[in-house]
Each structure stands twice: as structure tokens, then as C-alpha cells.
Amino acid sequence: MNLLTETLQQVRRAKRLSQLELSMRIGVSQRHVSFVESGRAKPSRELLVVWLEELGAPLALRNAAMLQAGFAPVYSAAPWGDPSLAVAQEALGQLLGAHDPMPAFVLDADWNLLQMNRGAQWLARVLMPWLVPGPINLLDLLVHPEGFAKRMLNLQEVGPALLGHLREDLLLQPSLAKRVDAFAEMLRVRFGEQRMGMAPGRAAAPMLTSRFETEFGELVFFSMFSTFGTPQDITLASLRVEHMFAADEATRAVVRERVL
């Protein structure tokens, strides 16, 4: 087994596809899929492009697989702030501004915070008044002793759900491993293995909400996410915008009054 075979197996299993299902989708025999995944056969460049596209692999992983197979990478990877991304950054700024006064922010694949609107800046000051300007990683803030999890009233409910999503992301974003492990350990220490999650017999809510204790009373939010459609750059493909919405009228009133 080599790096390419490990990558291809990892992506297929993350998508929960059998070799037979994949072979039918990309138009080759199941035997050939097996041979490629075991290292007994090498895929052509064209087949590898189709293979990774069918699996919906992240662009960075597609480039890595191409290099592992001895081919040139397919996608660009402009750094954040590069002039080639100026139009996209302007669009993100408009998207964030349109969501004010409700919080919204832009994250990269490693959960680094890249942009915030006024609502998000206000919420960060309310939950973490000690926070100073500089590079911010939301997963680091999640496990920080004085981070926003400290003010979350329903962490026992939200934490396991978020951890499940993070572990899914981890299958295709290995760089998250240390931070995901730290979050899992924080939940284990705080709640124990058996006490996390929804209480037995409790009906699941339509949307998972986060409840925060603040000087303005309890604030309740739910979130939606936006991503770029058909991005052709690794940086853009990794971005996601989290839009937070007030889950009750009291929260809505506080945010509208306080975010200036």
C-alpha cells in the first residue's frame, strides 16, 4: 500500500461507498477499482480526475492524490488575501454585511476565523471580553477555559452533535485531528462518556440551538452555512460562512438594540 492507495481508500470510505458502487459510477470494473486501491494498477490521469470528482473529494485532497500518482496538480491554491481572490472577498464582505445585525463569519477548513460582521464582533465581545485582536481559531476558543463553551448553557446537547460533525470532517481534513481530540477530551472530562447528548425520551428539536448566558440574559441562536458553488481554487473551496439567527424574540430584540 502507498500514499495514493491510502488516499483513495480513505475518500471512498468517508463517502460510505463500496468498490462496486464506485466502479459503476465511474464506468470501470470493480476489479480495476480493487487493483488501483491495492496498488496493483495505476490509474490514468483522466480516470483519477473522474474518480476524485465522483467522490466529491476536497480540492486539496485531489491535488495531493494527483501528486501521489506522479501527475501535476489540477487546482490553484491562492493564499487568503491574494489579489486573485479580491472579487470573492468583496462578495463575502457583502454577504456578511447583509446579515447584520445578526452574527456571521467566514471560516477556513481548519476553523480559522477570516472575517466577521458587526454582529459577530459584538457577540465575541459579550462572550469573551478578554479576547484581543489577532489570529483566531474557533476550535481553540471552543476548548479554551474562558472560551465561548464556558457560556454555553446546553453544551451537553450541542457538544456531542458538533463532535460528530467534526469527526466526519476529520476523515477528509486530517489537520483537524489535534483540535478535534482536544474538544472530545474536554467533553469527556466535563460530562463523562455516558452522560453526553440528549436525555433519553426527549424528542429531537427541528434545529439544534446554542444557548448562551450573558449580561443581557439568555441568548439563543441557530446556524446556517454558505459555501462557494463550484470553486476552482483550494482556498475558496475550503471557505464557509456561518450565519447565526436569533431563535427567539428576546434574542432578536437584544441583538437589534445592541449591535450598532
Distance CA 126, CA 215 (A): 8
For residue 105, list its beta bridge partners: 116, 242
> How does the average pLDDT of the chain come out, rounded?
92
With b meaning 16 or more CB within 10 Å and e meaning fewer, what string describes 106-135?
bbebebbbbbbbbbbebbbebbbeeeeeee
Residue 89 has pLDDT above 90, yes or no: yes
Q: Are residues 30 and 96 in the same domain?
A: no
Under the banding of pLDDT at 50, 70 and 90, the label for residue 254 is very high
Q: Are residues 108 and 206 in the same domain?
A: yes
Query: Is 73 inside a domain boundary?
Result: no
**Residue numbers of the domain that contains 25:** 3-68
Query: Is 75 inside a domain boundary?
Result: no
With b meaning 16 or more CB within 10 Å and e meaning fewer, what string describes 42-65?
ebeeebbbbbbebbebbbbbbbbb
Q: Are residues 39 and 102 in the same domain?
A: no
Task: Count each helix (H run) and each strand (E run) in the chain, helices first.
Answer: 12, 5
Q: Are residues 252 and 141 in the same domain?
A: yes
Per-residue pLDDT, averaged over 217-235, amounts to 93
Under the banding of pLDDT at 50, 70 and 90, the label for residue 251 is very high
Query: Is 42 inside a domain boundary?
Result: yes
How many distinct structural domains can be found in the chain? 2
Q: Are residues 129 and 249 in the same domain?
A: yes
The pLDDT tens digits of the residues spanning 109-136 come to 999 999 999 999 999 999 999 998 889 9
Q: Are residues 125 and 243 in the same domain?
A: yes
Query: Is 79 inside a domain boundary?
Result: no
pLDDT value for 201: 46
Per-residue pLDDT, averaged over 8-18, amounts to 92
Query: Is 76 inside a domain boundary?
Result: no
Burial label, 215 (beta-carbon count in 10 A; 0-12, 13-18, 19+): exposed
pLDDT value for 260: 80
Q: Are residues 243 and 205 in the same domain?
A: yes
Distance CA 30, CA 8 (A): 14
Question: What residue type is 134 in one-letter code?
Answer: G
Per-residue pLDDT, averaged over 128-146, amounts to 93
pTM equals 0.84
pLDDT value for 170: 86
Q: Are residues 120 and 244 in the same domain?
A: yes
The pLDDT tens digits of the residues spanning 173-211 come to 888 999 999 999 999 999 987 655 544 445 455 778 999
pLDDT value for 195: 56
Q: Which three cell numbers stand for residue 202?
A: 426527549
Q: Are residues 31 and 111 in the same domain?
A: no
Distance CA 191, CA 150 (A): 13
Q: Are residues 191 and 245 in the same domain?
A: yes
Q: Edge to edge, what strands does the sheet with 104-107 contain?
A: 113-116, 104-107, 240-246, 217-226, 210-214
The pLDDT tens digits of the residues spanning 46-83 come to 999 999 999 998 898 999 999 999 999 999 999 998 99
Q: DSSP H helical segments within 15-58, as ranges? A: 19-26, 30-38, 45-55
For residue 222, list its beta bridge partners: 245
For residue 42, give the CATH number of its domain: 1.10.260.40
The dihedrals phi and psi of 254, each to the nearest 5 degrees, come to: -65, -45
Residue 249 has pLDDT above 70, yes or no: yes
With H, G, I as helix, E, B as strand and everything else as coil, classify residue 216: coil
- The position carrying cell 445585525 is 101
